[in-house]
Chain A
Amino acid sequence: MRWLMGMALRNVMRNKRRSALTMLTVLLGTALLTLGLSWLNGLMGMIFGGATDMAGEVRVVTEAYAKRQATLPLYENVDPVEPLIETIQEVHPNARVYPTIKTAVTLTVGEDIGDHFGLLVAAEEAYFRDVLELSEGIEQGAYFSGGAKEALLGRALAAQIDAKVGDDLVVLGQTQDGSPSPLKLRVQGVVNGGNSLADRQVFVPFSEGQWLADFDSGATEVLVYGGGYLEAADVASGLRKSSVFRRFESERMAECRDREVSEDICRFRVEAWSEREPYSGIYTTVTAVFAVLAVIIVFVTALGVLNTMIMSVMERSAEIGVLRAMGLRKRGVVGMFVMEGVLIGLVGAGLGLLIGMVPSVLLEVHGIHLGEGLTSKTGFPLSTTVHADFTWAIAGLSAALGILTALLGSLLPAVRASAIEPVNAMRRRR
């Protein structure tokens, strides 16, 4: 082994220019992988982090609500919502559970009613503070003071309706029965919601949302957080399968049957964000882009390594013939070339990782500004600035792929070299 290592090192140093070229290929591949994966990771975090902030890592709604969710139906609510929250917390004691109400409203500042459409989000203050982090995003005015009749406006919505802190905000929505339902609120603050969707919403205390919708103690959606967005599918699955939750649901359905009410209003749909459209489709696409990017970079890098290593084999065929004639086995020849590739890969991947980390970290700190125009037109919670997200897992993956690439690139030439017959090699030299 030591002999092989020595031979490989000697061969690396023998043709420094070719070795440097091979190393550069691996270096570029690893650097590109580091940067590309960090960027995609940041993009995923922005889209899915934003999505889960607003729609829950796991969302529990009635089946009837899920079927008509595009219209944000108020009638298909969970009322009372407290027993459902208690049940979820019994199954997942560490989960944070927030009841919310989302409904379309018209908003105006001043005398007239109903000039601009917006989405009203009513929730407990803890949801706004801990999940949406609105307390961190106040651009004008102040965060909720704890009083009723207060509203926080997303900055894009505030600009659209020309609302200022302290203005009277007239909100016209509907009760769950479809009757016009107005609210008069005071603009407490204007917030940067962190993404284009949140910037177009109005946030009000939960009690105001319940009054608007005419709920006794209900909510339209129950959002569950625990373990981050990558663990959401497990949390949802755990809840669906738990006997406590199933017993609670069947008791509710029995009540529905007794009251001759559609079972869809009593049955729950528990879904992780990644199981719901449009996020499930985007998640699949982004994951596929991740894989395709990695495969392309690995393939191109491997081609570069393969090219220089084949040249090396061709140049050294006579030498290989002599070594084979002196008794070096085929396995030894393969080992010698593979070791050479791995040595080049180790140095190339190490340097590539260092070089790829620099722009990744810079992008993580500064990000790329996409602009309001682009992000406000999408239906996704996109931030105006996209930041990369470099992690040590990405570093490990990039480096491992860089080394693997060099190994794969040297394997074929090594096999080819091992197939050289000593007699032919000597004759060719002559």
Chain B
Amino acid sequence: MKKAVSIFSVLGLFWVGPVAADSADEILGSIDKNLNYEKRYTRATMTVTKPRRTKVYELETWGRGMDTAATEFHSPRRDAGTKMLKKGGELRMYMPSIEKVQRISGHMLRQGMMGSDLSYEDLLQFTGWRELYTAKVEGEEPCGESSCWKLSLTANRKDASYPTRTVWVDKSTRIPVRQELYALSGKLLKTWTMEAPQKFGARWYPTRMVLEDKLQEGTRTVLEFRDLQFEAANFNETVFEQRWLER
């Protein structure tokens, strides 16, 4: 009996191991492990390039889980002091020039955050992929110096911003290094790349993201993270309170 168990164990190792590593669902799970967090703090530079001009924003963000996040813009001068608070499915923005809080809803959600290629809806739906999508491995492709799985993702929910995505996931870091985001009609809406991954404890996390809105010609948004801290981040959680917005 003991012998039989050990044979099954060995077979199990050989059999279950590769399937777990290659299954689309497991890949999504490992992406979520990398990108999702309990706590996160970062300072970032967001460079928004349009055909005629480029704007550079300095910002600070605090995150608790995937559904609570606060952001404060420090520059340029006209946007300094602008704050955003995401709580669950709601997004509120404090505008210092009128000292008022605006709830971002309806058609405004589809607009780019501060004119960038990242929409407010992207911010709200930045939750676990495993829950949001059903994935299928389309194959493997080289990506840079590494090798990637090519996945096609189909949304499980009707309210997903992007009903389908094609994602290239780096096998070594489990980071979606390139994404193509499609509308229900099949039209390519955006591309999103995650670059310069760094190891933070057990997770890999990109320190540079590039988004391009394919519905607009010549636009590009580059997000560069500095001072990234995850679970060990030490910050005052009052930033997640409504009062912080108007303070």
Contacts and interface: CB of A to CB of B under 8 A. Distances in A.
Contacts of A111: 100
A265 B114 CA distance: 22
Interface residues of A, number: 24
B98 interface: yes
A180 B217 contact: no
A214 B78 contact: yes
Given A177-B50, A214-B78, A265-B52, A113 B112 contact: no
Given A178-B112, A178-B115, A261 B52 contact: yes
Contact of B218 (A79, A172, A261): A261
Given A177-B55, A179-B115, A180-B108, A262 B102 contact: no
Interface string A170-189: 10101111111011100000
B48 interface: yes
A177 B79 CA distance: 13
Nearest to A75: B50
A183 B102 contact: no
A184 B96 CA distance: 11
A114 interface: yes
Contacts of B132: none
Given A113-B100, A180-B102, A182-B95, A262 B115 contact: no
B78 A113 contact: no
B93 A180 contact: yes
Contacts of B185: none
Interface string B35-77: 0000000000000101110010000000000000000000000
Interface string A151-178: 0000000000000000000101011111
A288 B246 CA distance: 61
A211 B78 CA distance: 9
Given A179-B114, A179-B115, A265 B98 contact: no
Given A261-B51, A265-B51, A178 B100 contact: no
Contacts of A176: 115
A211 B95 CA distance: 14
B75 to A, nearest CB: 14
Contacts of A183: 97-98
B111 interface: yes
Given A177-B114, A182-B97, A172 B102 contact: yes
Nearest to A111: B100
Range, interface on chain B: 20 to 34
A351 B159 CA distance: 75
B31 to A, nearest CB: 29
A179 B97 CA distance: 14
Interface in B74-108: 78-79, 93, 95, 97-100, 102, 104, 108
Given A177-B55, A261-B218, A184 B98 contact: yes
A177 B48 contact: yes
A170 B51 CA distance: 31
A240 to B, nearest CB: 24
B115 A177 contact: yes
Chain A binding surface, main DSSP class: loop
B146 to A, nearest CB: 32
B218 A179 contact: no
Nearest to B102: A113
A45 to B, nearest CB: 39
A106 to B, nearest CB: 10
Interface in A253-310: 259-262, 265
Nearest to B55: A177
Contact of A179 (B52, B112, B217): B112
B64 to A, nearest CB: 25
Contact of B98 (A179, A182, A214, A262): A182
Nearest to B108: A180
Nearest to B52: A261
Contacts of B52: 75, 79, 259, 261, 265
A170 B50 contact: no
Contacts of B95: 180, 182
A75 B111 CA distance: 14
Given A177-B50, A177-B55, A261-B52, A170 B112 contact: no
Contacts of A113: 98, 100, 102
A261 B53 CA distance: 10
B112 A114 contact: no
A180 B102 CA distance: 10
A184 B111 contact: no
B94 to A, nearest CB: 10
B118 to A, nearest CB: 12
Given A114-B102, A183-B97, A184-B97, A262 B51 contact: yes
A5 B112 CA distance: 84
A211 B104 CA distance: 21
Interface string A102-118: 00000000010110000
Contacts of B78: 211, 214
Interface in B155-213: none
Closest 6 CB pairs of A and B: A177-B115, A179-B115, A184-B98, A182-B98, A179-B114, A178-B115
26 contacts: A79-B52, A111-B100, A113-B98, A172-B102, A177-B48, A177-B50, A177-B55, A177-B115, A178-B112, A178-B115, A179-B111, A179-B113, A179-B115, A180-B95, A180-B111, A182-B95, A182-B100, A184-B97, A184-B98, A211-B78, A214-B78, A259-B51, A259-B52, A261-B52, A261-B218, A262-B51
Interface of A: 75, 79, 111, 113-114, 170, 172, 174-180, 182-184, 211, 214, 259-262, 265
